[in-house]
Amino acid sequence: MRVLVVEDQARLADSVARVLRREGMAVDVAYDGNGALDRAAEAEYDVVVLDRDLPGVHGDEVCRRLLAEPVRTKVLMLTAAGTVAERVEGLTLGADDYLPKPFAYPELVARIRALGRRTQAALPPVLTRGDLTVDPAQRVATRARTRLPLNPKELAVLEYLLAAEGRVVSAEELLDRVWDSAADPFTTTVKATVNRLRAKLGEPPVIETVPRAGYRI
């Protein structure tokens, strides 16, 4: 899942980004409304975590512009405003969910995951293929009932390939959906991660390389 965090308090924005990356998400950060719109023009995000009270372009306007685009992006609005009327106003702008500050990180993660599931075709809560399973909510992968020692990126790649349900996924698509904007598109990052993942999955192999096309399970 690819997420954009838009928050003018740099310490909070960076803290949220670290938490979400530990959950296996690809996260970009913008610190004002202009930066958010620039990021959104460059990449497609599953979820945008949007502070309402932004400098420059206000969060309300950012929300309107994001939702005017023909993409599946979901918006989770953050604000220190806590009255019911203010929450309702945020939702009537088109935001998909609303979380007042201060918030607990586990709740933020749960809400982002719930919104992320709404951007894609309905998937079961646990992804399964043969003796291989991934529980995205628990961040656990098993094969033949044995837990696999995967790092966050390996788990995210495996989850994405399983969710593709046999479709061939290109290295470029994996780089775009699993890594953030800091990833170098000219590196062998995806290939190296897939190779490590194959080794940890063991035999028989479950990830197939399709020449000049990508990977599939």
> The CATH number of the domain where 45 resides is what?
3.40.50.2300
Residue-range definition of the domain harbouring residue 97? 2-118
**Do 111 and 136 lie in a common domain?**
no
In this structure, are 102 and 167 located in the same domain?
no
Q: Given this model, what pLDDT does residue 83 score?
A: 60
How many other C-beta atoms can be found within 10 angstroms of the C-beta atom of residue 105? 14
Q: Are 150 and 53 within one domain?
A: no
pLDDT in tens, 53-96: 898 899 989 998 988 877 778 999 988 765 666 666 666 677 88
**pTM flag (> 0.75):** no
| pLDDT score of 106 | 93
**C-alpha span between 200 and 90 (Å, rounded):** 45
Q: Tell whether 85 and 153 lie within a shared domain.
A: no
Please tell me whether residues 66 and 136 are part of one structural domain.
no
Of 91, 118, 145, the residue that ends a domain is: 118
Instruction: Say yes or no: 72 and 172 in one domain.
Output: no
User: What pLDDT digit, counting tens, does each position of 16-51 carry?
Assistant: 999 999 888 899 999 999 999 999 998 889 999 999
| Domain count of the fold of the chain | 2
Residue 48's pLDDT is what?
96
Q: Tokens for 126, please give them.
A: 């646990």
